[in-house]
Copies of this chain bind each other. A is one copy, B any other.
Amino acid sequence: MNETMNTDVILTAALTGAGDTVGKSEHVPVTPEEIAASAVEAAEAGASAVHIHVRDPETGAPSRDNALYREVVERIKETGIDVVINLTAGMGGDLVIGQDDPTRPDEGTDLVNGLERLPHVEELLPDICTLDCGSVNFGDGSSVYISTPDMLRAGAKRIQELGVRPELEIFDTGQLWFAKQMHAEGLIDDPSMFQLCTGIPYGAPADPGVLQSMVRLLPAGAQWASFAIGRMEMPWVAQSILLGGHARVGLEDNLYLSRGVKGTNGQLVEKAVTIIEALGARVATPDEARKKLNLRSA
C-alpha cells in the first residue's frame, strides 16, 4: 500500500533566480540569450517547465526590466522548443531595514506594490507566474522579503483577470495558510498550484516532517511541488514525489552537480530525471503539464 507517490512528475528548471550567484558559477545564465539557451538545454534534458528570472546583462544583478523578460520569452519561442513558461513575479519585494533608522530602508531595497510586480506578466501573459505568499526574513542580515496580504490580494486578482495561472510560492506554513485563505476567497482558481520552497534561510527548513505537515494542509485537488536549495536539491526531488508532489531543480536553487562539481541547468535536469526514473516514475511532457495544471496553452 502506497497511495501518495507521484508517478507523473512535472519537472521545472529554475534557470537563474535572483541570487548572488553569477560570480560563483560560470554556468549561471545572465543575458536573455544565455537564459533562453539554458531553457532550451533544460527542456532538451527533459524539463516540463522553465521558471525564469532576468538579470542585468552587464552586471548580472537581478532585474525587473520588461524588455529582458520579453527577449527571453521570444528567444525561447523562436527555437520552437516545447516547454511550459513560468515567469517569476516575486521581484520587487526586497526591503533592507535601515541600520540607523529601521523605518528608512537601506541600499539594496527594491520594494514596490503588488501590481507593480506584474508588468511583464501583463505584457507577456505566460502560462504561469509566481506569487510569493508572505513576508519573511531573507538571509542573515537585515533583509526582509515583503509581500503583504494587501499586495497579495491585489496581485492575485489581477493575475486571475489576465488568465495567467499563479504558482503560489510558500516559504513557511503561515504563508500556506494565507494562500488557502485567498483560495477560499475565490482569488485562486482550481486546481490551485503550490510550490513549497524549503531550505532557504529563514523560511521552512528542508525537513521531511515539516514538508509532510504542509502537504496535509493543501486544499483538495491542489497540484503541488516542493524544492530544496543547496545540497538538498536532489534528495528533495525524491522527497517531493514520494509525498505526491512535482519537482524543481536548477541553478536558482543550487550550483553543484555533486560535491565540488558545478553543473549547467541541463545537467541538473538530467540528474533529476535519473532520480525520478530510478524511483519508477516519469517526467510529464509539457502538454501533460498543461493539462494537469489547466494552463491557458492547454
Contact = CB atoms under 8 A, between A and B. Distances in A.
Interface residues of A, number: 76
Interface string A53-66: 00000000000000
Contacts of A279: 234-235, 238, 275
A294 interface: no
Contacts of A143: 148
Contact of A149 (B139, B207, B238): B139
Interface in A198-247: 199, 201-210, 212-214, 216-217, 228, 231-232, 234-235, 238-239, 241-243
Nearest to A180: B1
A206 B109 contact: no
Contact of A146 (B97, B149, B274): B97
A175 interface: yes
A205 B177 contact: yes
A213 B207 contact: yes
B206 A2 contact: yes
A207 B136 contact: no
State the oligomeric state as a number of copies.
Answer: 4
Given A1-B199, A278-B275, A208 B208 contact: yes
A231 B195 CA distance: 27
Nearest to A152: B137
Interface stretch (A10-18, A32-40, A166-174, A283-291): A166-174
A149 to B, nearest CB: 5
A295 interface: no
A194 B174 CA distance: 18
A82 to B, nearest CB: 25
A80 to B, nearest CB: 31
Contacts of A140: 149
Contacts of A142: 148-151
A271 interface: yes
Contact of A135 (B137, B151, B217, B274): B137
Nearest to A204: B173
